Amino acid sequence: MKLGIKPGEVVLDVGCGVGGPAREIATFTDANVVGLNNNDYQYHRPPPEDYGQKLTSRIERAICYTAKRGLSAHVTFVKGDFMKMPFADNTFDRIYSIEATCHAPSLEGVYSEIYRVLKPGGTYATYEWLLNDSYDPNNPQHKQISYDIEAGDGIPALIKKEVAHKAFADVGFEIIHDEDLADRGDEIPWYYPLAGELKYVRSIADFVKVGLMTRPIRYISHGFLGVLAFLRLAPPDANKTADALGVAADALVAGGRAKLFTPMQLYVARKPE
């Protein structure tokens, strides 16, 4: 709603993954969505809905899922680098990104490309991972939390909100909406599925999500992965990967509790006419 998408408009999804948001937005707005993803090859075990095909790239999976929904005429996908987009200037009416541009080597660089391909008067919405003002780079504990999030989630470097604001301004955007959705005084914090604390359980689905992150279950899973690796039924480094993800999850919880970090910073910006 805040992006202002209208029926028939051409919308770009920057870092679209397998296209879930693109399909939902096309369905509810009757717009035409183009998904951009640089993932050319990434192995996934194909779920049953892949019709038994071995779909090895996210774009292949996105196309398959979109065809199944009957949305191929309205949702298309392009392989490309969001730091150097394969589109002409002033192509799109609206653009959005969801937890994607935090992976850019330079926020100003990706914002400048978004600005270039967005039509004058168009809007861009992004859901960013950012450090809050309370983050102190001279505090060793803060630095460790930031590093663990970066290493576990494939982020070049977390930056503070003021840096994001400057990046928008430097490329020419006008910020029209600025809201941290993780800091609204909610009873249940955003990081509850990662915390492994049963006090946040409100439903069976919650119990499953939270239960999987409790210490006993994580310990059992670690041992089970070790057995599978020994039997060569799992990659030899499966435990190392699981450990890295566990450290990242703990860092996300620590950053959320201390309000050092937000994965839910919503910006909406406009390109001047």
Give percent of the chain with pLDDT exceeding 90: 63
pLDDT tens track for 179-220: 999 988 888 899 988 988 888 788 888 778 777 788 888 888
Q: Is pLDDT of 44 > 50?
A: no
Poorest-pLDDT segment among 65-69, 96-100, 174-178, 197-201: 197-201
* 240 and 115 co-located in one domain: no
CA–CA gap between residue 131 and residue 261 (Å, rounded) = 4
Token representation of residue 148? 């663990």
CA–CA gap between residue 242 and residue 226 (Å, rounded) = 11
Say if 144 falls within a structural domain. Answer: no
pLDDT of residue 210: 79
Q: Is pLDDT of 42 > 60?
A: no
CA–CA gap between residue 114 and residue 99 (Å, rounded) = 15
Q: Summarize the confidence of residues 235-240 as an average pLDDT.
A: 86
Poorest-pLDDT segment among 46-60, 132-146, 249-263: 46-60
β-pairing, 118-131 with 261-270? antiparallel
pLDDT of residue 39: 67
* 156 and 253 co-located in one domain: no
| Predicted structure pTM score | 0.86
Token representation of residue 139? 């505090």
Q: Is pLDDT of 96 > 80?
A: yes
* 202 and 67 co-located in one domain: no
Poorest-pLDDT segment among 47-61, 87-101, 177-191, 242-256: 47-61
pLDDT tens track for 51-69: 344 444 677 888 888 999 9
Q: Higher model confidence: residue 40 or residue 133? A: 133
DSSP letter (8 states) at residue 57: S
Q: How confident is the model at residue 235 (pLDDT cuts 50, 70, 90)?
A: confident
Amino acid found at 186: D
* 205 and 233 co-located in one domain: yes
How far is residue 45 from each of residues 18, 65, 79, 151, 217, measured CA to CA in Å?
14, 15, 21, 24, 24
Angle in degrees, CA 36, 166, 19, rounded to 5: 15
* 222 and 105 co-located in one domain: no
Residue 227: give the domain boundaries. Answer: 192-257
pLDDT of residue 51: 36
Per DSSP, helices labelled H in 122-271 are 140-153, 161-171, 192-195, 204-211, 215-230, 238-257
Q: Give the mean pLDDT of the chain.
A: 88
Say if 142 falls within a structural domain. Answer: no
* 90 and 69 co-located in one domain: yes
Amino acid found at 239: N
Amino acid found at 189: P
Say if 2 falls within a structural domain. Answer: no
CATH of the domain at 106: 3.40.50.150
pLDDT tens track for 137-165: 999 999 999 999 999 998 999 999 999 99
Q: How many domains does the chain have?
A: 2
Q: Summarize the confidence of residues 226-236 as an average pLDDT.
A: 86
* 54 and 74 co-located in one domain: yes
SS3 call for 16: coil
Q: Is pLDDT of 244 > 90?
A: no
Q: Is pLDDT of 49 > 90?
A: no
Say if 1 falls within a structural domain. Answer: no
Interacting residues of 90 by C-beta distance below 8 A, sequence separation 6+: 117, 118, 119, 120
